[in-house]
Amino acid sequence: MENSPGRDILAVTTTVGSAADARKLARAIVQARLGACVQVEEGLTSFYRWEGRDCEEAEVRLTIKTLPGCAEALQALLREQHPYDLPQFVAVRMQAGEAYYDWVRSEVALPEDPRESLGL
């Protein structure tokens, strides 16, 4: 792919403990227009330490395709609606093809810049 400045998207990942939680969260993200697409992958096993204990848990990964300008609002939605006390939020900036970027841009509502509403 050619260098395509201005066509950056984010792929954000988070995990939850069940397919039902994943579907609920995915719907909330798309309905809030903070992600154009949310892919749900079942069948993961996570090994981690939490509150001093070694843990092994089944998890479901969500991969959210969004725009960099939505990262803060998406994090706020996860803080409010995610079932975990500490939701994973890992974002990778990627360059998209022109048609895919245009689609993501058309499906995601960028939060309003408060400077614009003030006429700055």
Look up the domain containing 37 and give its range.
Answer: 8-108
State the total domains in the chain.
Answer: 1
Selected residue with higher pLDDT from 99 and 6: 99
Q: Which residues contact 50 (CB under 8 A, 6 or more apart)?
A: none
Predicted local distance difference test score (pLDDT) of residue 2: 54
Residue 26: CA atoms inside 13 Å, Cβ hemisphere, count? 20
Across 33-59, average pLDDT: 97
Burial 55-87 (b: 16+ CB within 10 A, else e): eeeebbbbbbbbbeebbebbbebbeeebeeeeb
- pTM metric for this prediction: 0.87
Place 114 in a pLDDT band, splitting at 50, 70 and 90. very low
Whether residue 119 is contained in a domain is answered as no
Write down how long the chain is: 120
Residue in the block written with tokens 């066509």: 7
Residue 115: Cβ-neighbour burial (10 angstroms; 0-12, 13-18, 19+): exposed
**Within a domain: residue 1?**
no
CATH, residue 85: 3.30.70.120
C-beta neighbour count of 101 within 10 angstroms: 19
Strand locations in 3-116 (E): 8-16, 37-50, 53-66, 90-95
* Position 118 pLDDT exceeds 50: no
Residues 67-83 pLDDT 10s:
999 999 999 999 999 99
